[in-house]
Protein backbone atom coordinates (compact mmCIF):
# COMPACT_ATOMS: atom_id res chain seq x y z
CA UNK A 1 0.00 0.00 0.00
CA UNK A 2 1.34 3.42 -0.97
CA UNK A 3 2.27 5.66 1.96
CA UNK A 4 0.91 9.17 2.46
CA UNK A 5 3.95 11.15 3.56
CA UNK A 6 3.31 14.06 5.92
CA UNK A 7 5.23 17.02 7.23
CA UNK A 8 3.17 18.38 10.12
CA UNK A 9 5.62 21.13 11.07
CA UNK A 10 6.70 23.17 8.10
CA UNK A 11 7.62 26.41 9.85
CA UNK A 12 6.88 28.94 7.15
CA UNK A 13 4.41 31.82 7.37
CA UNK A 14 1.91 32.65 4.63
CA UNK A 15 3.34 36.19 4.49
CA UNK A 16 6.88 34.92 3.92
CA UNK A 17 8.11 35.81 0.40
CA UNK A 18 9.32 32.23 -0.05
CA UNK A 19 6.05 30.66 1.14
CA UNK A 20 4.85 29.41 -2.24
CA UNK A 21 8.31 28.14 -3.17
CA UNK A 22 8.62 26.16 0.05
CA UNK A 23 5.15 24.61 -0.34
CA UNK A 24 5.81 23.75 -4.00
CA UNK A 25 9.17 22.20 -3.16
CA UNK A 26 7.60 20.16 -0.35
CA UNK A 27 5.13 18.68 -2.82
CA UNK A 28 7.83 17.92 -5.39
CA UNK A 29 9.82 16.04 -2.72
CA UNK A 30 6.96 13.57 -2.29
CA UNK A 31 4.90 14.85 0.64
CA UNK A 32 1.12 14.70 0.29
CA UNK A 33 0.01 16.28 3.58
CA UNK A 34 1.49 19.37 5.19
CA UNK A 35 0.83 21.65 8.15
CA UNK A 36 2.16 25.07 9.04
CA UNK A 37 1.54 26.51 12.53
CA UNK A 38 -1.05 29.25 12.90
CA UNK A 39 -1.71 31.42 15.93
CA UNK A 40 -4.89 30.75 17.90
CA UNK A 41 -6.59 33.96 16.66
CA UNK A 42 -5.53 33.54 13.02
CA UNK A 43 -7.34 35.29 10.17
CA UNK A 44 -9.39 32.94 8.02
CA UNK A 45 -7.95 34.59 4.90
CA UNK A 46 -4.49 33.31 5.84
CA UNK A 47 -5.69 29.73 6.03
CA UNK A 48 -7.62 30.08 2.76
CA UNK A 49 -4.41 31.25 1.08
CA UNK A 50 -2.57 28.26 2.57
CA UNK A 51 -5.28 25.91 1.27
CA UNK A 52 -5.19 27.44 -2.19
CA UNK A 53 -1.41 27.17 -2.54
CA UNK A 54 -1.45 23.56 -1.29
CA UNK A 55 -4.32 22.52 -3.55
CA UNK A 56 -2.47 23.86 -6.60
CA UNK A 57 0.40 21.42 -5.96
CA UNK A 58 -1.70 18.45 -4.82
CA UNK A 59 -1.05 18.83 -1.08
CA UNK A 60 -3.55 18.18 1.69
CA UNK A 61 -3.44 21.25 3.98
CA UNK A 62 -3.72 20.71 7.74
CA UNK A 63 -4.71 23.44 10.19
CA UNK A 64 -2.27 23.38 13.13
CA UNK A 65 -1.68 25.53 16.19
CA UNK A 66 1.45 25.61 18.37
CA UNK A 67 0.74 26.54 21.99
CA UNK A 68 3.53 27.84 24.21
CA UNK A 69 1.91 28.28 27.64
CA UNK A 70 3.86 29.48 30.66
CA UNK A 71 1.92 27.41 33.20
CA UNK A 72 -0.38 24.36 33.37
CA UNK A 73 -3.40 26.59 34.03
CA UNK A 74 -2.63 28.70 30.98
CA UNK A 75 -2.31 25.51 28.92
CA UNK A 76 -5.75 24.29 30.03
CA UNK A 77 -7.32 27.63 29.06
CA UNK A 78 -5.58 27.73 25.67
CA UNK A 79 -6.49 24.15 24.74
CA UNK A 80 -10.12 24.77 25.67
CA UNK A 81 -10.16 27.75 23.30
CA UNK A 82 -8.53 26.11 20.28
CA UNK A 83 -9.44 22.42 20.28
CA UNK A 84 -12.57 22.78 18.13
CA UNK A 85 -10.83 25.14 15.69
CA UNK A 86 -7.70 23.19 14.74
CA UNK A 87 -6.96 19.77 13.28
CA UNK A 88 -3.63 19.52 15.12
CA UNK A 89 -2.92 20.93 18.57
CA UNK A 90 0.77 20.91 19.53
CA UNK A 91 2.23 22.06 22.84
CA UNK A 92 5.78 23.43 22.91
CA UNK A 93 7.08 22.11 26.24
CA UNK A 94 9.51 24.62 27.75
CA UNK A 95 8.97 23.62 31.39
CA UNK A 96 8.44 20.33 33.17
CA UNK A 97 5.12 21.48 34.63
CA UNK A 98 3.71 22.36 31.21
CA UNK A 99 5.08 19.12 29.75
CA UNK A 100 3.35 17.03 32.41
CA UNK A 101 0.01 18.78 31.96
CA UNK A 102 0.22 18.51 28.16
CA UNK A 103 1.07 14.81 28.33
CA UNK A 104 -2.04 13.96 30.35
CA UNK A 105 -4.46 16.17 28.41
CA UNK A 106 -6.36 14.07 25.85
CA UNK A 107 -7.02 17.16 23.74
CA UNK A 108 -3.30 17.58 22.94
CA UNK A 109 -2.03 15.80 19.82
CA UNK A 110 1.72 16.52 19.79
CA UNK A 111 4.38 17.16 22.42
CA UNK A 112 7.33 19.13 21.08
CA UNK A 113 10.57 19.67 23.04
CA UNK A 114 12.59 22.41 21.27
CA UNK A 115 15.46 22.81 23.74
CA UNK A 116 18.84 21.59 22.54
CA UNK A 117 20.17 21.32 26.10
CA UNK A 118 19.31 17.83 27.39
CA UNK A 119 18.71 19.29 30.88
CA UNK A 120 15.74 21.26 29.50
CA UNK A 121 14.20 18.36 27.59
CA UNK A 122 11.55 16.84 29.82
CA UNK A 123 10.50 13.70 27.98
CA UNK A 124 11.26 11.07 30.63
CA UNK A 125 9.49 7.97 31.94
CA UNK A 126 6.76 9.78 33.93
CA UNK A 127 6.09 11.97 30.88
CA UNK A 128 5.89 8.93 28.59
CA UNK A 129 3.51 7.12 30.93
CA UNK A 130 1.14 10.09 30.93
CA UNK A 131 1.38 10.47 27.14
CA UNK A 132 0.71 6.78 26.64
CA UNK A 133 -2.56 7.04 28.59
CA UNK A 134 -3.69 10.16 26.73
CA UNK A 135 -2.51 9.07 23.24
CA UNK A 136 -0.37 12.20 22.74
CA UNK A 137 2.49 11.74 20.29
CA UNK A 138 6.12 12.82 20.62
CA UNK A 139 7.09 15.13 17.76
CA UNK A 140 10.74 15.31 16.75
CA UNK A 141 11.77 18.25 14.57
CA UNK A 142 14.66 17.25 12.29
CA UNK A 143 15.96 20.76 11.54
CA UNK A 144 18.56 20.76 14.37
CA UNK A 145 20.05 17.50 13.08
CA UNK A 146 20.40 19.07 9.64
CA UNK A 147 21.74 22.43 10.80
CA UNK A 148 23.82 21.64 13.90
CA UNK A 149 27.45 20.52 13.86
CA UNK A 150 30.03 19.31 16.36
CA UNK A 151 29.39 18.75 20.09
CA UNK A 152 25.93 20.35 20.05
CA UNK A 153 24.73 17.82 17.47
CA UNK A 154 26.28 14.92 19.41
CA UNK A 155 24.55 15.99 22.63
CA UNK A 156 21.20 16.32 20.86
CA UNK A 157 21.56 12.87 19.31
CA UNK A 158 22.28 11.41 22.73
CA UNK A 159 19.14 13.03 24.15
CA UNK A 160 17.03 11.85 21.22
CA UNK A 161 18.27 8.26 21.56
CA UNK A 162 17.15 8.27 25.18
CA UNK A 163 13.76 9.86 24.39
CA UNK A 164 13.00 7.55 21.46
CA UNK A 165 13.89 4.49 23.56
CA UNK A 166 11.53 5.66 26.32
CA UNK A 167 8.74 6.44 23.83
CA UNK A 168 8.99 3.00 22.26
CA UNK A 169 9.08 1.30 25.67
CA UNK A 170 5.80 2.96 26.67
CA UNK A 171 4.16 2.77 23.24
CA UNK A 172 4.07 6.54 22.69
CA UNK A 173 3.55 7.37 18.97
CA UNK A 174 6.47 9.19 17.33
CA UNK A 175 6.06 11.82 14.61
CA UNK A 176 9.02 13.05 12.56
CA UNK A 177 8.60 16.57 11.17
CA UNK A 178 11.03 18.80 9.33
CA UNK A 179 10.60 21.95 11.45
CA UNK A 180 12.25 23.95 8.66
CA UNK A 181 11.33 27.07 6.72
CA UNK A 182 14.28 27.41 4.33
CA UNK A 183 14.36 25.79 0.90
CA UNK A 184 17.93 24.56 1.32
CA UNK A 185 17.04 22.59 4.47
CA UNK A 186 14.09 20.71 2.98
CA UNK A 187 14.51 16.93 2.66
CA UNK A 188 12.34 14.28 1.04
CA UNK A 189 10.35 11.94 3.34
CA UNK A 190 12.77 9.04 3.07
CA UNK A 191 15.65 11.44 3.72
CA UNK A 192 13.99 12.51 6.99
CA UNK A 193 13.38 8.86 7.88
CA UNK A 194 17.03 8.05 7.17
CA UNK A 195 18.15 10.68 9.71
CA UNK A 196 16.16 8.81 12.35
CA UNK A 197 18.68 5.93 12.11
CA UNK A 198 21.05 8.25 13.98
CA UNK A 199 18.92 8.06 17.11
CA UNK A 200 17.87 4.44 17.01
CA UNK A 201 14.79 4.13 14.79
CA UNK A 202 14.67 1.31 12.27
CA UNK A 203 13.42 1.78 8.72
CA UNK A 204 9.84 0.66 9.30
CA UNK A 205 9.35 2.78 12.44
CA UNK A 206 10.95 5.82 10.84
CA UNK A 207 8.80 5.61 7.70
CA UNK A 208 5.67 5.17 9.83
CA UNK A 209 6.67 8.31 11.76
CA UNK A 210 6.52 10.38 8.55
CA UNK A 211 3.43 8.73 7.10
CA UNK A 212 0.96 6.43 8.89
CA UNK A 213 1.20 7.96 12.37
CA UNK A 214 0.85 11.67 11.48
CA UNK A 215 -1.78 11.03 8.80
CA UNK A 216 -3.69 8.83 11.27
CA UNK A 217 -3.76 11.64 13.85
CA UNK A 218 -5.11 14.09 11.27
CA UNK A 219 -7.79 11.68 10.00
CA UNK A 220 -8.93 10.89 13.54
CA UNK A 221 -9.22 14.57 14.45
CA UNK A 222 -11.09 15.40 11.26
CA UNK A 223 -13.69 12.80 12.17
CA UNK A 224 -14.03 14.35 15.64
CA UNK A 225 -14.41 17.85 14.18
CA UNK A 226 -17.13 16.68 11.80
CA UNK A 227 -20.52 18.12 12.92
CA UNK A 228 -21.97 14.61 12.61
CA UNK A 229 -19.51 13.17 15.11
CA UNK A 230 -21.20 12.09 18.38
CA UNK A 231 -18.63 9.82 20.05
CA UNK A 232 -15.93 7.37 18.92
CA UNK A 233 -17.69 4.91 16.61
CA UNK A 234 -20.94 6.92 16.60
CA UNK A 235 -21.96 9.38 13.86
CA UNK A 236 -25.22 11.15 13.18
CA UNK A 237 -26.54 9.84 9.86
CA UNK A 238 -29.89 11.60 9.72
CA UNK A 239 -32.10 13.59 12.02
CA UNK A 240 -35.76 14.55 11.85
CA UNK A 241 -39.20 13.26 12.65
CA UNK A 242 -38.88 10.30 10.26
CA UNK A 243 -35.88 8.78 12.07
Please report, for the chain, the start and end positions of each structural domain, with discontinuous segments joined by +. 6-235
Q: What is the CATH number of domain 6-235?
A: 3.20.20.140
Which pLDDT tens digit goes with each residue over 55-114? 999 999 999 999 999 999 999 999 999 999 999 999 999 999 999 999 999 999 999 999
- Of the given ranges (108-112, 117-121, 128-132), which has the lowest mean pLDDT? 117-121
Which pLDDT tens digit goes with each residue over 2-30? 899 999 999 998 888 899 999 999 999 99
Residue 225 CB burial class (10 angstroms; 0-12, 13-18, ≥19): middle
- Are the beta carbons of 116 and 144 closer than 8 angstroms? yes
- Are the beta carbons of 91 and 110 closer than 8 angstroms? yes
Distance between CA 26 and CA 48 in Å, rounded? 18
Amino acid sequence: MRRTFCDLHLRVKTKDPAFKQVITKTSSLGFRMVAVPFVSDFHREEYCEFQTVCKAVDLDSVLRVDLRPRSPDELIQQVRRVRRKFEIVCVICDTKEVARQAAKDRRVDLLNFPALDYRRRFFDRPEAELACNSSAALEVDMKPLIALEGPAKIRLLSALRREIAIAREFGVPIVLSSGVSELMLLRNPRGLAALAFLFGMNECCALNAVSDIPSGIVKCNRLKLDPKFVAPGIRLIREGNDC
